[in-house]
Amino acid sequence: MSCVESNKKDCGCLADILKKILLLQRQEYDNENYSGCDKPYLGPICNTICYNTRPIMLYNCCTGNPWSFSYTANGQTSTSDVFRIEAIDDCCCTCRILYLDPTTNRYLGTSEFFTINLDCVGALRCLPDTFIDLC
C-alpha cells in the first residue's frame, strides 16, 4: 500500500492548519489563543502588521524528506523547499515557491506555484513569520 492509499482520509489535520494559516495571511483571523503553526496572528506579537506570510515546509509522507520544487529567479534556476500557502481546496493545497535571498537573508516570493495533494504530505513545519513582497 502506498502512502497515498494509507493516508487518504488523514489530510484533515494538515488541511485545518493550512486553512488557519491562509486566513491569517489574509488577515481574517479570530482571537483564539493558539501557539505554533496555528497561532492567531502573524509575527511575534498581536497587532503587528509588518508580516504577511508564515513560510512552511512540507514533508513527503513516504520518505520523510522535504518536498522541493524548482523555480527561476534573476535568470537562475534552483530548487526550494520553502513555500507560502495561497489556496486550499479539500486536500489540495496551492503554494507559492519562496527562496532565500543570500544578500538580505530574507525570503523572497517567486511567481511560480504548485498544487500538492495533502495525501502525499506527512508533516508540516512552520518557519518564522515574515513579509513577502507579492507584487
Full DSSP string of 16-80: HHHHHHHHHHTT--------GGG-SSSSSSTT--S--B--EEEEETTT-PBP-EEEEETTEEEEE
What is the per-residue pLDDT across 60-108, written as a single tens digit (0 to 9) for each?
999 999 999 999 988 999 999 999 999 999 899 999 999 999 899 999 9
What is the per-residue pLDDT across 9-22, written as a single tens digit (0 to 9) for each?
557 788 989 998 89
Higher pLDDT, 135 or 60: 60
pTM here is: 0.79
